[in-house]
């Protein structure tokens, strides 16, 4: 069962509003405080205060800090987060958020991301807001983050660099490719910390996704604006389970796609390899006919929700595409058993299940080059050797349930006893899930 949160950003979003909404939805602020204390920075406190905004009850998360002249770099903040005792997923989410900030600030100020000097977003309050929000997501067991279109104010706002347009350049860059809209409110409705959380973590945009609502919370901004409540609403729910026969609930993933009509075949091949290396479960290219009859390609990646931000940026950087779209998918991925056989004295890895046996293509090519045998003959001998194994009671040993495959997921089979010289089953530590079938 997948647990999701949908942030309704009808009045924008800030870091303290995001955190307040999750505390209002049930995340224990005392536990958040206890884990935040492990960050190697001091001089701060947080308090959850019940407030009203335009008559609606909400939680205002107040972070108070002692004045500090320290201006932190991205590398400094990465060190702070890595040194703290945080749950792994919360740590990865916090690092992804600051990584997104560093990327955008670096582009705006023409500096490498690692050398970016954070001003407002590097302050202790911003660190507490972002890391605290990631901890609150973990306490609520949130697997997926979704968001509505994001409201923006107008006019100008004062920042460390002086007066800036509202929304600020950082917010505009962070929400590139996300749905957002302006209002005539002169306040800064969406801050860089709020935009960074959405940019790094959200896997879907638009109306509330289909789910069974479990709880909801409202996080308040500092002001009580006239007209629209200065709130962000968090709706937490469980996505409807789409189980397969036998009770296998499968896995919720995300498909990223981009249409390109000016990218060479060599670059497309590189993008596929780079995406797989960056953690995509699967990747492929489909030739299509685009606008004005142009030949084009659709690049498709399948990934876990947490990897969407990195893969989206990879697509933009490597192809120059002007847009990336995402959609949720559900995958039932059977486990796969790996074994190794020998052909003409050379090792060949084999994937197998009850339904099929397949030699790893890369290994068959290497053995063919070394022996002079045709590739298909190497594959035939390897697969025949694998079929000779004898069943044992420990079916499924050595399986890799998380690997991807060209047919939508890995295949599985039983672990068996090897003949003395031909078969040596084991889980191969260097298996690439996209070699072979």
Domain boundary, last residue among 238, 271, 290: 238
Which whole number is the average pLDDT over 236-240? 85
Q: Are residues 274 and 214 in the same domain?
A: no
Q: Are residues 288 and 371 in the same domain?
A: no
Q: Are residues 347 and 325 in the same domain?
A: no
Range of the domain at 188: 3-238
Confidence label for 223 from pLDDT (cuts 50, 70 and 90)? confident
- Rounded to whole angstroms, the Cα distance separating 344 from 348 reads 10
Residue entry with tokens 């490498």: 112
Is the residue at 101 inside a domain? yes
Cα 423 to Cα 79, 370, 375, 381, distances in angstroms: 47, 20, 19, 11
Residue 284: CATH number of its domain: 3.30.70.1380
Q: Could you tell me the pTM of the whole model?
A: 0.62
pLDDT tens digits along 266-325 = 999 999 999 998 889 899 999 999 888 889 999 999 998 878 888 988 999 999 998 899
Domain boundary, last residue among 330, 357, 376: 330
Which whole number is the average pLDDT over 174-188? 90
Q: Are residues 14 and 104 in the same domain?
A: yes
pLDDT tens digits along 80-139 = 999 999 999 999 999 999 988 888 877 776 776 666 666 555 478 889 999 999 999 999
pLDDT tens digits along 50-71 = 999 988 999 999 988 876 666 6
DSSP 262: S
Is the residue at 436 inside a domain? no
For residue 114, count other CB atoms closer than 10 A to its CB.
Answer: 11
Domain boundary, last residue among 288, 309, 330: 330
Number of domains in the chain: 3
Helices (H), 28-123: 29-36, 74-83, 88-109
Is the residue at 430 inside a domain? no
């Amino acid at each position: 069962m997948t647990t999701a949160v949908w942030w309704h950003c009808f009045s924008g979003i800030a870091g303290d509003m995001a955190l307040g909404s999750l505390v209002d939805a049930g995340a224990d602020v005392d536990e958040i405080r206890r884990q935040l204390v492990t960050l190697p920075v001091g001089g701060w406190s947080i308090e959850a205060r019940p407030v009203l905004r335009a008559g609606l009850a909400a939680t205002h998360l107040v972070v108070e800090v002692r004045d500090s002249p320290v201006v932190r770099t991205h590398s400094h903040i990465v060190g702070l987060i890595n040194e703290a005792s945080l749950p792994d997923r919360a740590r990865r989410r916090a690092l992804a958020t600051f990584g997104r900030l560093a990327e955008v600030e670096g582009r705006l100020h023409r500096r490498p991301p690692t050398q970016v000097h954070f001003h407002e977003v590097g302050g202790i309050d911003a660190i507490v807001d972002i890391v605290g929000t990631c901890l609150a997501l973990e306490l609520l067991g949130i697997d997926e983050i979704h968001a509505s279109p994001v409201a923006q104010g107008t006019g100008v706002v004062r920042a460390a660099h002086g007066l800036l347009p509202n929304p600020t350049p950082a917010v505009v860059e962070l929400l590139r490719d996300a749905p957002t809209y302006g209002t005539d409110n002169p306040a800064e409705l969406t801050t860089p910390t709020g935009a960074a959380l959405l940019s790094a973590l959200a896997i879907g945009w638009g109306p509330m996704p289909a789910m069974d609502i479990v709880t909801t919370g409202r996080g308040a901004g500092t002001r009580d604006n006239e007209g629209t409540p200065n709130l962000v609403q968090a709706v937490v729910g469980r996505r409807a389970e789409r189980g397969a026969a036998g009770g296998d609930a499968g896995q919720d993933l995300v498909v990223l796609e981009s249409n390109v009509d000016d990218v060479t075949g060599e670059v497309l091949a590189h993008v596929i390899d780079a995406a797989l290396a960056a953690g995509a479960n699967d990747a492929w290219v489909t030739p299509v006919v685009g606008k004005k009859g142009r030949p084009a390609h659709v690049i498709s990646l399948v990934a876990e929700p947490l990897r969407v931000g990195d893969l989206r940026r990879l697509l933009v950087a490597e192809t120059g595409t002007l847009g990336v779209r995402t959609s949720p998918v559900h995958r039932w991925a059977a486990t796969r058993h790996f074994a190794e056989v020998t052909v003409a004295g050379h090792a060949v890895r084999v994937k197998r299940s009850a339904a099929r046996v397949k030699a790893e293509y890369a290994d068959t090519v290497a053995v063919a080059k070394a022996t002079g045998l045709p590739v298909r003959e190497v594959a035939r001998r390897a697969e025949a050797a694998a079929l000779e194994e004898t069943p044992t009671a420990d079916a499924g040993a050595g399986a890799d349930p998380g690997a991807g495959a060209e047919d939508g997921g890995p295949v599985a089979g039983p672990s068996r006893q090897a003949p003395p010289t031909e078969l040596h089953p084991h889980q191969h530590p260097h298996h690439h899930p996209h070699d072979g079938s």
